Structures are given as C-alpha cells and as structure tokens.
Amino acid sequence: MSDSQAVVAGVVTSVVGFTSSFAVVLTGLTAVGASPSDAASGLLVVSLTMGVGSLAFSWRTRQPVTMAWSTPGAALLAGATVPDGGYADAVGAFLVAGLLYALTGLVRPLGDWVARIPMPLANAMLAGVLLVLCVEPFRALTDEPAAIAPVLVTWLLLLRLARRWAVPGAFAAAVVVIVVSGSLGDVDRGALAPTLTWTSPTFDLVTVVAIGVPLYLVTMTSQNIPGVAVLASFGYRAPLSPALVYAGGATAVTAPLGGYSINLAAISAALAAGPSAGEDESRRWVAGVSAGVTYLLLGPLAALVTTVSAAAPAGVVASVAGLALLGTFASAASSALGDDGYREAAAVTFVVAASGLTIAGVGAAFWALVAGGVFLVVVRGRLSATPSHRS
C-alpha cells in the first residue's frame, strides 16, 4: 500500500511539474531565438535528462531525489532578448552555465562563493524578472478578453477547489480556447512527432554574462540550494555534489539540442518527499523513481504541446506562463523584502531587474545584482547587512 501511494505521488509530481511550467520553458527558449522546433527539442531533452536523473538518484540513494528544469531560469530567459549572434549564442551560454554547475559540484570553494550571495538580493533579482512575466495575463485580458478570461476564471476557481491543479487546469482551459478558435486546423500533423534539432553553439562574452551567468546564479540560489533544504526538512540528505555534476554535464551535453538547464527540484520536491508519498519514509524513494519514469513518458509529448502552443491565439501561452509563475514571484518577493537588513538593497535589485534595462548588451538580471551589491558596499561597507533599528 505504501509503495502504491509513493508511485501515485511520483506521477503527480511529474504531471503537475510538467503541465504547470512547460509554457514558461517554451516562452524562455523562444525569447532567446529558438524556433518552434528548437523549443520542442529543448523541452524534450530537459524532460528526458531530469527523468533519468530522478530515477537514477532515487534508486541509488534510496531517497526521493527528484530533478526538474529550471523554471526561474526559463523565466529569466523569457525576460531576455535574442543575442546579436542569434540562438547559437544563447546555446553557448547554456553550455557555460552547465559547466559552472558541474564545477560547483567538483570545486567546493565555488559553491561556497555562490552561497555568500545574499539570498534577499538573489530573490529580489528573481522577483524583478518574474514581475514582467506575471503581469502578462492581465495585459492580455484587455486585448483578448474572450481568449484570456476562461483561462483566468478556471485558474481562480481551481485555486479554491484544488490548488495543486490550478495551473494545469488553466492550461486545459487554454487548450479548449485554442480548439474553439479553430487555429488547430492549420497544424501540420508531421510536426507532432518528437524530434531533436541541433544548433552548434557559438560563444559571445556579452551573451555569457547576460544569460549564462545569471542563469547559473538564479538556478543555484532558487533551485539547487532550496532543493537541498526541502529534502532536509523531510529528513533526507541531498546528494548535492553528484547532482550538480550530473545536472551540469547533462546541460552541457544537451545544450545544442536546447537543454538549457536542469537541477534539483525545489517546490515539486515536497510532493515526492512529503507525507503524500506514504507514511514509511524509507520507501518514499519509490516516488522519485516513479517521477523519473513519468518524465521519460512525458518527454515525447514536447512536440505536441509546442505545436499546440504555437497555434494559440495571441497572449494565451504567455498568460498560462504568467499564472504559473505567480506563486514563485510571491515567494521571491516576500523573501527579498522580508529582511530589514537587506530591504533597501533588495528593493534596488528588484526595480533594476524589473526595469528591463540593457547596458553594453548585458541585460537587467546581471545589473540588478551589481546594483544591489554596490548599494550594500556603499551604504553598509560590506555585502552582508545587519538589521537597521529605526525609531
């Protein structure tokens, strides 16, 4: 009975994880120049690599260790622009981010350096990037009310009735909107089969700084480190170094196929590691294996969901992505502004990230961290801060 409960928990982990944020992945890859086939290829390979990782680590460690694509990383890509060298430059940045993950797992001082980044600043950067995406459903509502309203209403009702399924339900409503619009009539059925497309990476320093480094930082601070904490909260010790080496190696190898980033699961990890996976904690690893197998089965659907998404009326997919990120935005903003000692620096980081500014070809995410760090150094004299006591 315990194992069957764990199996179901693993399936739910993967289905909810996939359906609630694949739109963010597609939006992010498209924003940096990926074609629909490139984006479908990317969605396929990240699904397969995180499936293999979840299965292998859970089986080997006998712990519910699950992998995921970097939703915050995809959101960061969605707020970026196409590099001067096109999608190939973005692929080069993905590859660099992957190498940095692997190095962090192999070289302890690098991980210690990342851990020194003040979490309020990292969360403020993430919140600023997400803000731009989270307002999209409400902007789109004014332009396409007939298409967007059903998505928003479904999401809102499910938040009350079955919160876990709110975003998947919003996607289901979006599919209904797409079908009713008649836009699927022009879909080429040959495009529904899973395919891989190769893009040889090119390396541009500006793109690496603008995309690769922020992708690495936001994934480490918003996914890998919290993922360790989530597992620890249920009494498990995450295999962080091996997981980083695997995630980095898999990202680097699959970057030309669109594999932009995988990592330890954070939010969805609680579904497989918590009580929903059974009362026997020693058997919850079965949920991790089940989640991995489910991701492997969902991967081939990448071309289908990409093709359907491409046929959607304007604003529908962006709306689903924005709704999927609202919870992450709320958590990041709360964490960023909740510490008195960092509040002003976090506010500076947040507004710079949300501004969308570009300096020397480098986007707002990087400059947001720079601005927050400079603020702390100038005002406090150091990157760490102590709470200010004001009367």
Which residues, at least 6 apart from 51, have a Cβ–Cβ distance to it below 8 Å? 14, 67, 291, 292, 293, 294, 295, 296, 298, 299
Tally of structural domains, the chain? 1
Which tokens belong to 77?
């890509």
Asked if residue 249 belongs to a domain, the reply is yes
Look at residue 301 and tell me whether its pLDDT is greater than 80. Answer: yes
Asked if residue 120 belongs to a domain, the reply is yes
Nearest CA-CA partner of 168 in 159, 181, 179, 177? 159
Asked if residue 157 belongs to a domain, the reply is no
pLDDT given at position 241 = 92
- Whole-structure pTM value: 0.83
pLDDT given at position 106 = 92
pLDDT digits (tens, 9 = 90+) for 223-247: 888 888 888 888 899 899 999 999 9
25 close to 309: Cβ distance less than 8 angstroms: no
- Rounded to whole angstroms, the Cα distance separating 370 from 373 reads 5
**Range with the largest mean pLDDT of 15-24, 90-99, 304-313:** 90-99
- Rounded to whole angstroms, the Cα distance separating 84 from 147 reads 34
- Angle subtended at Cα 82 by Cα 79 and Cα 88, rounded to the nearest 5 degrees: 125
- Rounded to whole angstroms, the Cα distance separating 205 from 38 reads 23
pLDDT band at residue 1 using 50, 70 and 90 as cut-offs: very low
pLDDT band at residue 286 using 50, 70 and 90 as cut-offs: very high
DSSP 210: I
- State the residue range of the domain holding 212: 2-148+183-314
Angle between helices 2-31 and 71-78 in degrees, nearest 10: 20
pLDDT given at position 17 = 84
Look at residue 321 and tell me whether its pLDDT is greater than 90. Answer: no
Look at residue 172 and tell me whether its pLDDT is greater than 50. Answer: yes
User: How far is the CA of 64 from the CAs of 33, 105, 221, 244, in angstroms?
Assistant: 36, 20, 21, 16
pLDDT digits (tens, 9 = 90+) for 185-223: 666 666 677 889 999 999 999 999 999 999 999 899 888
Look at residue 127 and tell me whether its pLDDT is greater than 80. Answer: yes
- Rounded to whole angstroms, the Cα distance separating 369 from 350 reads 9
pLDDT given at position 385 = 60
Look at residue 174 and tell me whether its pLDDT is greater than 80. Answer: yes
For residue 11, count other CB atoms closer than 10 A to its CB: 18
DSSP conformation letters of 357-375: --BTTB-HHHHHHHHHHHH
Asked if residue 190 belongs to a domain, the reply is yes
- Phi-psi category of 70—alpha, beta or left, where left has phi over 0 and alpha has psi -120 to 50? beta
Mean pLDDT (whole number) for 116-123: 83
